[in-house]
């Protein structure tokens, strides 16, 4: 299956690199296949995730699927940040978890469990394959041990806790292409820090205060700094160096440079000319989903979360399609029209897949592929191998689905194989699944069908006035009648 070598863009070197696994396995021994170990920074579970966050996990999932397509056995960790970190990236400001707990009148622990479950439900709705989800609160003892091992050489204490001195490691900030001492002023910065970029390894609870989530440590009662957990869980579950570390592009600036500095300190490795000294061989970042009206911000009342899309009648996988239509390193602008177009594209694919399945006689038995299909298989593999070019891969999938004079069972088999990378779930979807009733709709599906049946009778009797009246009546209730729709839809909710 391995045709084109898999090339991935490493943010650390800012270049495309051929993926060479840390654990190549034993060639020819099916019991020791080559492995790929991936760590993805997960959510802080103090609130629902917005669809921008979910783009990061759709990207990481597609990466994992591509590695499997290339024959690697995948171990993929997405951590759950259930210790409240603070409201800025620099890990300063208020504790998000405790703030939400106070607002909702629940414990911080309940808040974390609730939003983790909601996050996992969203992942499933987007066909994200199951992954390991370690919780930060389960690794606090390991974080304290890590802190102890680096404290002497790399840290200093202030009243507010233990801080990492970024000048003690070589090449600090290379990932962000930033200077250590860029004079950048940070909101709510801590007095006494040696360098502007120094960050907390341990945050001591201020005297006279108690937090719901706090632990004893050699640096007083308090909580770990946010950056520490990913270093610790990455090392514990995947071992250094592991293959790939991913996150959203914002993490390239502060969170990941800080993780890298901690890893260098812990492993006693020095400069980053050898990327493995950072803890991972390749660092990958997805660009942002943007939305101009500010509906992505969790502080705005109704923000863009997957459930809102569903409430408006868009199947969650239309959002996955929308993500795949853009390259992960490009910014993607959200619009309802764009989401509608992605849904229509998905519907077409589902219908073509179903048609091929209906025509297929039996299951495709692996044998020499028809020439057209072999060409498309190579094209698909090349697209994915070129830093996950999913927009191109989707086009190739569509070409497979529209092949003429090719055994339908081969089309079904290869469309299914390609979809194992894209994750649209074509084999399990039907046209009907994709038609969701918006929450605000007042008319039921049965009523719509009944009205359409009456309209059909009126038209058959050439009573066009009655037929138009029914059409207008439906329009008044938000239902658009779709005469002559190429996909064969009779109506949609407008």
Which listed option, Zn ion, ligand AMP, none, makes contact with residue 248 (CB within 5 to 8 Å by class)? ligand AMP
Which position among 99, 251, 327, 345 is part of the footprint of ligand AMP (CB under 6 A)?
Answer: 251
Q: Which two tokens stand for residue 23?
A: 């654990």
- Report whether 492 contacts 482 (CB < 8 A): yes
Nearer to Zn ion, 41 or 66 (CB): 41
Least distance to ligand AMP, CB of residue 40, Å? 7
Q: How far is 171 from 272, CA to CA, in rounded Å?
A: 6
Which position among 63, 100, 230, 413 is part of the footprint of Zn ion (CB under 5 A)?
Answer: 230
Least distance to ligand AMP, CB of residue 49, Å? 7
275 part of the interface to ligand AMP, by CB under 6 A: no
Residue nearest to ligand AMP (CB): 248
Nearer to ligand AMP, 250 or 433 (CB): 250
Scanning 12-20, 119-127, 153-161, 285-293 for contacts with ligand AMP by CB under 6 A, the matching segment is 285-293
Scanning 34-42, 188-196, 326-334, 479-487 for contacts with Zn ion by CB under 5 A, the matching segment is 34-42
Q: How far is 58 from 319, CA to CA, in rounded Å?
A: 10
Nearer to ligand AMP, 21 or 247 (CB): 247
Rama region for 110: left / alpha / beta (φ>0; ψ in -120 to 50; rest)? alpha
Residues whose CB falls within 8 Å of the CB of residue 64, separated by 6 or more in sequence, listed in order: 36, 38, 74, 76, 129, 131
Nearer to Zn ion, 41 or 90 (CB): 41
Residues whose CB falls within 8 Å of the CB of residue 387, separated by 6 or more in sequence, listed in order: 7, 8, 9, 16, 327, 329
Task: With CA atoms as reference, report the closest residue to 316 among 128, 79, 72, 48.
Answer: 128
Question: Where is 336: in which H helix or E strand?
Answer: helix 336-359
Which residues does residue 204 pair with via DSSP β-bridges, in sequence order?
Answer: 222
Q: Which two tokens stand for residue 233?
A: 């869980």
Which listed option, ligand AMP, Zn ion, none, makes contact with residue 296 (CB within 5 to 8 Å by class)? ligand AMP
Which position among 8, 36, 38, 41 is part of the footprint of ligand AMP (CB under 6 A)?
Answer: 41
Which position among 166, 296, 317, 436 is part of the footprint of ligand AMP (CB under 6 A)?
Answer: 296
- Report whether 394 contacts 324 (CB < 8 A): yes
Say how many residues touch Zn ion, by CB under 5 A. Answer: 2
Q: Which two tokens stand for residue 294?
A: 């500010």
- Report whether 66 contacts 6 (CB < 8 A): yes
Q: Pattern 50-79, binding to ligand AMP, x per CB under 6 A?
A: --xx-xx-----------------------
Which listed option, Zn ion, ligand AMP, none, makes contact with residue 393 (CB within 5 to 8 Å by class)? none
Scanning 38-46, 181-189, 394-402, 413-421 for contacts with ligand AMP by CB under 6 A, the matching segment is 38-46
Which position among 156, 215, 288, 489 is part of the footprint of ligand AMP (CB under 6 A)?
Answer: 288
Scanning 226-234, 309-317, 338-346, 397-405 for contacts with Zn ion by CB under 5 A, the matching segment is 226-234
Least distance to Zn ion, CB of residue 248, Å? 10
Task: With CA atoms as reference, report the closest residue to 83 among 101, 69, 57, 67.
Answer: 101
Q: How far is 384 from 36, CA to CA, in rounded Å?
A: 16
Q: How far is 408 from 445, CA to CA, in rounded Å?
A: 33
Which residues does residue 215 pair with via DSSP β-bridges, in sequence order?
Answer: 222
Distances (CA, A) of 295 to 110, 208, 322, 335, 440: 26, 38, 17, 11, 19
Nearer to ligand AMP, 287 or 372 (CB): 287
Q: How far is 391 from 388, CA to CA, in rounded Å?
A: 9
- Kindly report the length of the chain: 494
Least distance to Zn ion, CB of residue 285, Å? 12
Least distance to ligand AMP, CB of residue 244, Å? 14
Chain contacts with ligand AMP (rule: CB under 6 A): 41, 43-44, 52-53, 55-56, 247-248, 250-251, 286, 288-289, 296
What is the contact surface with Zn ion in residues (CB under 5 A)? Answer: 41, 230
């Amino acid at each position: 299956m391995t045709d084109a070598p898999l090339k991935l863009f490493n943010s650390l070197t800012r270049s495309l690199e051929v993926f060479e696994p840390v654990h190549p396995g034993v060639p020819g021994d099916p019991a020791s296949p080559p492995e790929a170990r991936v760590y993805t920074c997960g959510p802080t579970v103090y609130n629902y995730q917005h669809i921008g966050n979910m783009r990061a996990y759709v990207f990481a999932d597609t990466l994992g699927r591509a590695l499997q397509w290339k024959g690697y056995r995948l171990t993929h960790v997405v951590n759950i940040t259930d210790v409240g970190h603070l409201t800025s990236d620099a890990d300063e400001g208020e504790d998000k978890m405790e703030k939400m707990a106070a607002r909702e009148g629940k414990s911080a622990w309940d808040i974390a469990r609730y939003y983790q479950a909601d996050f996992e439900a969203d992942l499933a709705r987007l066909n994200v394959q199951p992954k390991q989800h370690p919780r930060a609160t389960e690794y606090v003892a390991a974080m304290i041990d890590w802190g102890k091992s680096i404290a002497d050489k790399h840290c200093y204490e202030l009243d507010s806790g233990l801080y990492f001195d970024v000048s003690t490691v070589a090449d600090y900030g290379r990932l962000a292409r930033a200077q250590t001492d860029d004079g950048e002023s940070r909101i709510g910065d801590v007095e006494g820090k040696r360098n502007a970029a120094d960050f907390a390894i341990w945050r001591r609870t201020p005297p006279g205060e108690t937090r719901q989530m706090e632990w004893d440590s050699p640096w007083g009662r308090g909580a770990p700094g946010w950056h520490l957990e990913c270093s610790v869980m990455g090392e514990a579950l995947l071992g250094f160096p592991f293959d790939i570390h991913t996150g959203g592009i914002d993490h390239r600036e502060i969170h990941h440079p800080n993780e890298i500095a901690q890893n260098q300190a812990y492993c006693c490795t020095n400069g980053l000319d050898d990327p493995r000294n950072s803890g991972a061989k390749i660092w990958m970042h997805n660009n942002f989903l943007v939305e101009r009206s500010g509906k992505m911000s969790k502080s705005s009342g109704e923000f863009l979360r997957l459930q809102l899309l569903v409430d408006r009648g868009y199947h969650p996988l239309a959002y996955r399609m929308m993500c795949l239509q853009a390259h992960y390193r490009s910014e993607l602008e959200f619009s309802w029209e764009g989401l509608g177009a992605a849904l229509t594209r998905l519907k077409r694919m589902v219908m073509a897949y179903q048609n091929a399945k209906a025509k297929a006689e039996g299951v495709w038995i692996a044998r020499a592929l028809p020439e057209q299909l072999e060409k498309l298989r190579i094209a698909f593999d090349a697209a994915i191998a070129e830093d996950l070019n999913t927009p191109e891969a989707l086009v190739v999938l569509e070409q497979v689905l529209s092949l003429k004079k090719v055994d339908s069972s081969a089309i079904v088999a290869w469309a299914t194989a390609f979809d194992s990378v894209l994750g649209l779930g074509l084999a399990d979807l039907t046209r009907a699944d994709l038609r969701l009733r918006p929450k605000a709709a007042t008319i039921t599906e049965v009523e719509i069908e009944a009205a359409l049946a009456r309209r059909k009778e009126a038209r058959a009797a050439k009573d066009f006035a009655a037929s138009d009246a029914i059409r207008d009546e439906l329009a008044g209730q938000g239902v658009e009648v779709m005469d002559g729709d190429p996909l064969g839809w009779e109506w949609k909710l407008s």
